[in-house]
Structure formats: structure tokens, C-alpha cells
Homo-oligomer: A and B are copies of this chain.
Amino acid sequence: MELNFLTIIDLAGTFSFALSGAFAAMEKRLDPFGVIILAFAPAIGGGSVRDVLIGDLPVAWLSNNITIGVIIFAAIAAMLFASRLKKFEPLLQVFDALGLGLFTMVGIEKGIMHGYPPGICISLGVLTGCFGGVLRDVVLNNVPYLFHKEIYASASIIGGLGFFAFQSAGMQTTLLNIVCILLIFFVRMLAVRYHWSLPAFYKHPNNL
């Protein structure tokens, strides 16, 4: 049951990130096969790197047909509904933020399942949440969202710290997962909306 809930989160994250990849590819006017391939990059990038580093091989998406089906479905849905949309960019940001929250949570839970300490669990969460999007953006020659001014990885880290804080306060697991996913999603969306950014607390030399 607990595992089932995690699987649902994982598939929801896959769907969200696949949509973000498809919209990013459509912004760059790639052809339909290109859109499908770019839907794969964020949807499986972060989880694959996490599974590879842990040594949990073959990676999850190879051992079932559902993940691939969800990604292709998301890519086709994005293309079919494209004519109703005025711009792809805002949707890309919404689904990217949703994927960030969902995948960060999956990464943390995977770390806990493997018995890693909190610091490493949070690192795995950040990696799972952020790497797919970086891969999507690097491959498309875009500046990764990770390096825009608005807080991004910080949202993922805040969610991870929140998870272990709420957990030690005794919150029930399923609720805990939902709270942290929403925390990451809203922090990120508010950051985009109101251009939140962290100050660089180090003083940068003027001559740069």
C-alpha cells in the first residue's frame, strides 16, 4: 500500500516531467518524434541517474511498460492540445514544478528504503528532482531553470528538510508525502510568480 502510493507519485511525476519535456521541444519546433524523445529526457533522467548511482539496476523504467506508455501518452496529448494553447512556456513551468515536487519525494523515499542517512536522502531527492530538468534544458541548449534567478533547487532542498522535520514531529507517512510535494510545488510556483530569489550572501567583486 505504501509502495503503491509511491508508485502513483512516481507515475504522476513521470507524466508531469514528460509534459514539460514535450512543451520545451514544441517551443523549439522539433518534429513529433523529437517531441516524444524530449519527453523521455526529464521523465526518466533524474530517476535513472539515482538508480544507477545506488546500483539499483536495471533502472525502473526498463522493467515495466507503464512508464514508457505514460511518457508517449503525455507527448501525444501535448501535441494534440497544442492548438488550444497560446503559449507553451507557462505550462512548461507548472508541470516542471509539479515534477520537481513529486520526484524529490520519490528520491527521498528511495533513499530511506535503502537505509541512507537524512543528508544522503535529501541529496538523492534533489538529484531525482533536478537532474531530469537540467538534462532537458542542456540537450535543448537552454539555460537550465536550475540557474535562473528564481529559487529552484532550493525549493527541493526546503521540501527535503521539511520532510525530516515533519517526520520527527510524528506526521503520518502518506500525509507527509503530500505536504512535502505541495510545499515544493508552491515554493517554486510562488518564486516564478513573484521572482523570489535568494540573496548571494557572499560579496561579489565589482570587476566582474
Task: Using CB atoms and an 8 Å cutoff, list the residues of chain A in contact with chain B.
Answer: 26-35, 37, 40, 48, 52-55, 57-59, 62, 65, 68, 78-80, 82-83, 85-88, 116-117, 119-120, 123, 126, 130, 134, 138-141, 143-144, 146-147, 149, 151, 153-154, 157, 197-205, 207-208
Q: Are A82 and B31 in contact (CB under 8 A)?
A: no
Residues of B contacting A68 with CB < 8 Å? Answer: 119-120, 123
Number of this chain's copies in the assembly equals: 3
Residues of B contacting A208 with CB < 8 Å? Answer: 27, 87-88
CB nearest to A199 among chain B residues: B31
Q: Are B120 and A30 in contact (CB under 8 A)?
A: no
Q: Are A31 and B83 in contact (CB under 8 A)?
A: no
Q: Are B143 and A33 in contact (CB under 8 A)?
A: no
Q: Are A28 and B82 in contact (CB under 8 A)?
A: no
Q: Are A33 and B198 in contact (CB under 8 A)?
A: yes
Q: Are B53 and A200 in contact (CB under 8 A)?
A: no
CB nearest to A57 among chain B residues: B55
Which residue, of A48, A78, A202, A204, has the highest number of chain B Cβ atoms within 10 A? A202
Which residue, of A37, A40, A83, A141, has the highest number of chain B Cβ atoms within 10 A? A37
